[in-house]
Amino acid sequence: MATQDWRVGNQICQILSSSGQKVVSLSYLCSETRAQPSEVRAALRKLGELGCPISHGREGYLLEPDAQLLEMDELTRNLRPGLVRWAITYFFYINSTQSAVRAMAERDAHEGTTVLAEMQSRGVGRLGRNWSSPYCGIWLSSLLRPRRTLENQLLTIAASLAITRAVSAVCGIKSELKWPNDVQIGGRKVAGVLGTSEYRGERLRSVAVGLGINANIDLNLLPGSFRDQATSLKAELGAKVDREQLIASALNNLSSLYAKLERAEEDEIVDEARKNCSTLGRRIQVRMGSRLLKGVAQDLDRDGSLILEVEEGRTVRLYSHDVSLLP
Ligand code: BT5
pLDDT tens for 165-181 read: 999 999 999 999 999 99
The span from the CA of 166 to the CA of 183, in Å, is 12
pLDDT, one tens digit per residue, over 248-299 is: 999 999 999 999 999 999 999 999 999 999 999 999 999 888 888 999 999 9
Share above pLDDT 70 across residues of the chain, in percent, rounded to a whole number: 99
> 10 Å Cβ neighbour count for 267?
10
- The yes/no answer on whether domain 283-325 falls in CATH 2.30.30.100 is yes
Four-residue CA torsion sign, 10, 249, 154, 160: negative
Closest residue by CA, ligand 1 atom 7: 212
Determine if ligand 1 sits within 6 Å of the CB of residue 179. no
What's residue 1's pLDDT?
44
- CATH number 1.10.10.10 is the correct assignment for the domain at 3-63: yes
> Can you tell me which atom of ligand 1 is nearest the CA of 127?
19
Mean of the per-residue pLDDT values of the chain: 95
Cα-to-centroid distance, 36 and ligand 1 (Å): 32
Residue 66 has pLDDT above 60, yes or no: yes
* Ligand 1 pocket member 134 (CB < 6 A): no
**pLDDT over 90 percentage in the chain:** 89
- Per-residue pLDDT of 220-256, as tens digits, reads 999 999 999 999 999 999 999 999 999 999 999 999 9
The alpha carbon of 282 and the centre of ligand 1 are apart by a number of angstroms equal to 23
Tell me if 166 CB under 6 Å of ligand 1.
no
pTM above 0.75, yes or no: yes
**Residue 34 pLDDT exceeds 90:** yes
Query: What distance in angstroms lies between residue 225's CA and the mean position of ligand 1's atoms?
Result: 13
From the CB of 145, is ligand 1 less than 6 Å away? no
Q: In Å, how far are 172, 222, 236, 282, 285 from 188, measured between CA atoms?
A: 17, 13, 10, 16, 18
Q: What is the pLDDT of residue 320?
A: 80
**Three-class SS state of 107:** coil
What is the dotted CATH code of the domain comprising 72-275? 3.30.930.10
Q: Residue 108 carries which side chain, given as an amino acid letter?
A: D
The helix (H) or strand (E) run that includes residue 142 is strand 138-144
State mean pLDDT over 35-64.
96
Q: How far is the CA of 157 from the centre of ligand 1 (A)?
A: 15
Rounded (5°) CA angle 117-121-127: 100
Residue 150: pLDDT above 90? no
**Could you give the angle at which helices 266-275 and 152-166 cross, rounded to 10 degrees?**
60
Contacts of 12 (CB under 8 A, 6+ apart): 29, 33, 40, 43, 44, 47, 54, 61
Q: What's the pLDDT at 4? A: 66
- Domain extents for the chain? 3-63, 72-275, 283-325
SS3 76: helix
Q: In this predicted structure, which of 148-157, 183-192, 204-213 has the lowest mean pLDDT?
A: 148-157
